[in-house]
Structure 1
């Protein structure tokens, strides 16, 4: 998954403002105690990060 698609899905799911806030501030155990931004900066695959977000936030399967 390209980062542009990842961020598009984040904005669609959480809204323009909250997607960025969530990515910067929400530490996730699914990402090894990292935020979304930290995981991406550390080289995690965007698709793996998206899956972790979906799991943690219980995003319905139809929107994953």
Structure 2
């Protein structure tokens, strides 16, 4: 997942998590796991952009 900037990534996250909207994945209704995957990918991109990879890498090593 690629964004132009952090603002776009955050706007996309807010939009995807809007309680009034519905999540679509390839034109079909999405589920909670789809939303979690989308959120994680966007958050990884934001962390990478800010040089804070340790945030998600630390979490990944704790869950192993």
Whichever structure has more helix as a proportion of its residues is: 1
TM-score interval for Structure 1 and Structure 2 normalised by the shorter chain: 0.3 to 0.5
Query: TM-score normalized by structure 2?
Result: 0.37
